[in-house]
Amino acid sequence: MSVGSGAREGRELEEPRWAAFFEDLNKRIEDGADFETTIEVVADPTVGTEAERLPLNSITYEDGDDQIAIGVGGRSRRFPAVLWHYVDRPRRMFVSEDDDDELTALIIESEDEALTLVRLHAA
């Protein structure tokens, strides 16, 4: 799946479920799940990779700020600092899973139609 061609693959997750979805994912990370994360962005006039195969630290939906915060790194000596990517005014989110129902990607569309693809790879 690439941001450009298959941007809205997977099942759409409605906004009232985002916070709980991210809480469950963060709990899995706290319990030892290890994901390598690649973040790609398509936004006028920018297209590119912001992070490639860094450990997922956390991801949250801040309703009051109308923002999704994605933290990568900060989980080992190799990646001691947490780097943050923010999606302002998210409006739609799609969740992709493999045949074993393991999370493989999140596609987030913001109010200005920018797309953020968060690819998750089991480490």
pTM of the model: 0.88
Question: Each residue of 59-96: pLDDT tens digit?
Answer: 999 989 999 999 999 878 888 899 999 999 999 999 99
Residue 51 has pLDDT above 60, yes or no: yes
- The CATH number of the domain where 41 resides is what? 2.70.180
Range of the structural domain that residue 49 is part of: 11-122
Question: Each residue of 4-40: pLDDT tens digit?
Answer: 444 457 899 999 999 999 999 999 999 999 999 999 9
- 10 Å CB burial of residue 39 (0-12, 13-18, 19+) is buried
In a domain, 1, yes or no: no
In a domain, 84, yes or no: yes
Angstrom distance (rounded) from CA 27 to CA 116: 23
